[in-house]
Structure 1
């Protein structure tokens, strides 16, 4: 699924979204200016693999520390390690630094998306649209509805 196809689907569903083009960012630290320019709950996205070989995309608030051991325990995943760039490119069809829950639409159900329940409190969530040179902000419930409508295994839970 392409970025343009994603935008078209959100437009057909009357989902309000705001897009901000910007220089490439690879870390949360590099994206501080984006946070100021685009008010929303910004994200930290992790592409993970468990001991059974299953893939996960965990999205948490950008200011939170990622505790892979606690995440794995909460999700019953055994132990997590970071997914390899070649698996990311094969499954999500994106490059490292561009991880976004939207990319799970390209994974044919092979990647489970986990979203922190804290995003339900925010007016909007900010994610990359398959590339790290733009960020979009949209209502969290619209993102969750879109993921589920695509048949993407999706969990919303309070991450430790």
Structure 2
């Protein structure tokens, strides 16, 4: 399958999930420009390599985390080149014993499944159960890549649009972290 960079939403949304279409509706409604690549399911960062070359943007690892009591939940956006160390992050956000949250919480709060974790899933977090953490290197990049809540497409958008338009529309703020 040859990967092609396309502008905006797919012309034909037949067979696409509602949560993906809702993502395009949100971005289009806010006037946020984005490019899209459709691809085979990308479950790992390794699967994303070819897609990332086409997107030419900051490649983010999106990690869904929680505290030991499973009472606080976090979505962490870090460059794919960085290694996540619990201790470094725990100290910055004042939450000890961070670990990966169970997939059930991911589906419950963000309506996404493992392999599809995306900052855009926060549009489904109406109860504000998930706190967004963004590494400073992601914030410093002009563009970043993410999934439209499904791992068979990837988007490239301006980081400034995420911060200035998308997050306010989703009524979410973020905490800047340094990992």
Report the TM-score, using the length of structure 1 for normalisation: 0.92
Unaligned runs of 5+ residues in structure 2 are: 1-17
Q: Distance in 1 between matches of 2:77 and 2:139?
A: 13
Q: Does residue 115 of structure 2 align to residue 97 of structure 1?
A: yes
Equivalent in 115, 120, 131 of residue 139 of structure 2: 120
Conserved? CA contact 2:65–2:73, under 8 Å:
yes
Aligned residues: 159
Q: Distance in 1 between matches of 2:86 and 2:94?
A: 12
How much has 1:2 moved relative to structure 2?
Answer: 2.7
Q: Distance in 1 between matches of 2:98 and 2:177?
A: 18
How much has 1:12 moved relative to structure 2?
Answer: 3.0
Q: Does residue 172 of structure 2 align to residue 152 of structure 1?
A: yes
Higher gyration radius (CA): 2
Conserved? CA contact 1:85–1:95, under 8 Å:
yes
**SS of equivalent to 1:5:** helix
**SS of equivalent to 1:71:** helix
Q: Distance in 2 between matches of 1:5 and 1:97?
A: 18
Report the TM-score, using the length of structure 2 for normalisation: 0.83
Query: Which residue matches 2:98?
Result: 80
Unaligned runs of 5+ residues in structure 1 are: none
